[in-house]
Structure 1
Amino acid sequence: MSVVLSILIVIVIAALVLTSSSLRLVQQYQRGVVLRFGKLLPETREPGLRAIVPFADRMTKVSLQTVVLDIPAQSAITRDNVSIGVDAVVYFRVEDPVKAIINVENYLQATSQVARTSLRSVIGRAELDTLLSDREQINGELKAVLDAPTEDWGISIDRVEVKDISLPDGMRRSMSRQAEAERERRARIIVADAELQASTKLSQAAGAMAATPGALQLRLLQTVVDVAAEKNSTLVMPFPVELLRFFERATGARTETPPAAERPPVTGAALNGQPLVTRDSPADPG
């Protein structure tokens, strides 16, 4: 009786071991790829508790989540012969679990290596200005380069982004001087344009004031009001130019030309273009 009981216990334990070894739990974000005696089964195992044939089937779970792969800084030379260091990040996910297991040994390592080589290749074809100013173009080229080899591995590249670009110290100083010179050039152009517009407006204002004599007087009074509003102890009064011209005309009208009889006689030739003027003098007694 004891022998039969022992045999039953052994059978139960063996059944439990076989049952436990034949059951596999597949998570919602996973898919199971099963190989039976080394041959691929056509269907993948969906999420849930799945049974396999013990000692005959071998199931590999593949995650379908998006993987964030960090590419360490890569030293590269741009098209215009500038040595820089560039690091990036790749977002990808497994689209076909069968290809990811069958076509490549380790899809994570393979994707990492091809991302590094592709990054150096793209940087070598681009110029420094393009890398600094047009990141979207570089990211698009990197994604296109990575899509070609990873498509056969059942991997879909969602996006590639360049994180940082390390420049040499000498190049940074040169770019700083270039940016400063560019800002100085823009500032001078803006000042010159402002002076041109101001001179045009002043010319138009001067023409309007010349056409209306009273406008100049009103402008003079407005200037006096503006100066007086500053609470200055000294008041500067502009003197109208028209008043000076009035005085000049009045003075010229009072000045009379002497008659010809009173003019001194002119004798002799001109000396150096100037006439020689002599006055009548008494005769020499000698």
Structure 2
Amino acid sequence: MSDLLPTGFLVLAGFALVVLLVNSLRILREYERGVVFQLGRFWSVKGPGLVILIPGLQQMVKVDLRVRVIDVPSQDIITRDNVSVKVNAVLYFQVVQPDRAIIQVENYLGATSQLAQTTLRAVLGKHELDELLSERERLNLDIQKILDAQTDSWGIKVTNVEIKHVDLGESMVRAIARQAEAERERRAKVIHAEGELQASQQLAQAAEILGRQPQALQLRYLETLTVIAADKNSTIVFPLPVDILGPLIEGMRRSDKPRDAG
């Protein structure tokens, strides 16, 4: 009986030793780091690979270093020109200093999400609606810089911010459609006026050249007749210069005067 007691004790002690050894081993993946605390105080950052902890004295918190994606919920924003819109976005960030992400902020995921929402409202509220619709790249960069500066103390790097969708009211959509239609009409009128100006300039140059060479005008008449005849038309319009009709009319008037006198 006395021999069984030491044997049982050794078995029990060996089992306890194995349990402690298993509890002291941690395996971290390539994208994970472990923030180790010893007696409640920060000790070091471990990983990746096998990490050995002292049971009862050391605790470890895992931190994922991969790029995380947060969907920023739709925010009610009033632009600088007093237009109410709803804007949502997506935020990309990653933890670059695991110890700060655990020690400096209670929940870095929630804190980053809330900060992104307030920053989105603050930045977009300083711009007009036209800028919000046409200059998204610049606004994305402004939001990213502000977020990156504020989350730097948390050990977080904001890599990208993208505005996904801008929701407008139906009345504002109709107003923008009318504005776009008016803009297209304005451009059409300007283009038509520029075309008339260019055409008048070309016609003035052509008239000047034809005025110096009367034979060129006759050649243009003949070319016009050739074009008309090629279309298989039954009616041919022959242009007659007005300067030819003038002498004929004057001669007819002179021949009618002696008859009236007799």
Which amino acid in 1 is paired with 2:80?
R
Runs (4+) of structure 1 exceeding 6 A deviation are 255-258
Deviations 1:101-144 (A, max 9, x none): 00001100000011111111112222111111111222122123
Question: For residue 73 of structure 2, what is the aligned residue in structure 1?
Answer: 72
Is 1:214 the counterpart of 2:215 in the alignment? yes
3-state SS, counterpart of residue 140 of structure 1:
helix
Structure 1, unpaired ranges of 5+: 264-286
Question: For residue 156 of structure 1, what is the aligned residue in structure 2?
Answer: 157
Deviations 1:17-51 (A, max 9, x none): 1111011011111111100110111x310210111
Question: For residue 187 of structure 2, what is the aligned residue in structure 1?
Answer: 186
Question: For residue 273 of structure 1, what is the aligned residue in structure 2?
Answer: none
Q: Determine the C-alpha separation between the residues in 2 that align with 1:163 and 1:223.
A: 61
Q: CA deviation at 1:209?
A: 0.9
3-state SS, counterpart of residue 162 of structure 2:
strand
Question: For residue 7 of structure 1, what is the aligned residue in structure 2?
Answer: 9
TM-score (norm 2): 0.92
Q: CA deviation at 1:158?
A: 0.9
3-state SS, counterpart of residue 239 of structure 1:
coil
Show the 5 A alignment for 1:1-286: 1-41=3-43, 43-248=44-249, 250-251=251-252
Which amino acid in 2 is paired with 1:135?
R
Q: CA deviation at 1:63?
A: 1.1
Deviations 1:136-182 (A, max 9, x none): 22212212321232111111111211111111111110010000001
Which amino acid in 2 is paired with 1:7?
F
Higher deviation after alignment, 225-234 or 194-203: 225-234
3-state SS, counterpart of residue 175 of structure 2:
helix
Structure 2, unpaired ranges of 5+: none
Q: Determine the C-alpha separation between the residues in 2 that align with 1:204 and 1:73.
A: 62
Higher deviation after alignment, 92-101 or 2-11: 2-11
Q: Determine the C-alpha separation between the residues in 2 that align with 1:47 and 1:74.
A: 39
Which amino acid in 2 is paired with 1:30?
E
Which amino acid in 2 is paired with 1:53?
I
Greater C-alpha radius of gyration: 1
Give RMSD over aligned pairs: 1.9
Deviations 1:41-89 (A, max 9, x none): 1x31021011110111101111111111110101111111111101011
Percent identical among aligned pairs is 46
Q: CA deviation at 1:193?
A: 0.9
Task: Identify which of structures 1 and 2 has the higher relative contact order when contacts are C-alpha pairs closer than 8 Å and 6+ apart.
Answer: 2
Which amino acid in 2 is paired with 1:195?
E
TM-score (norm 1): 0.85
Q: Determine the C-alpha separation between the residues in 2 that align with 1:15 and 1:221.
A: 116
The count of residues paired between Structure 1 and Structure 2 equals 259
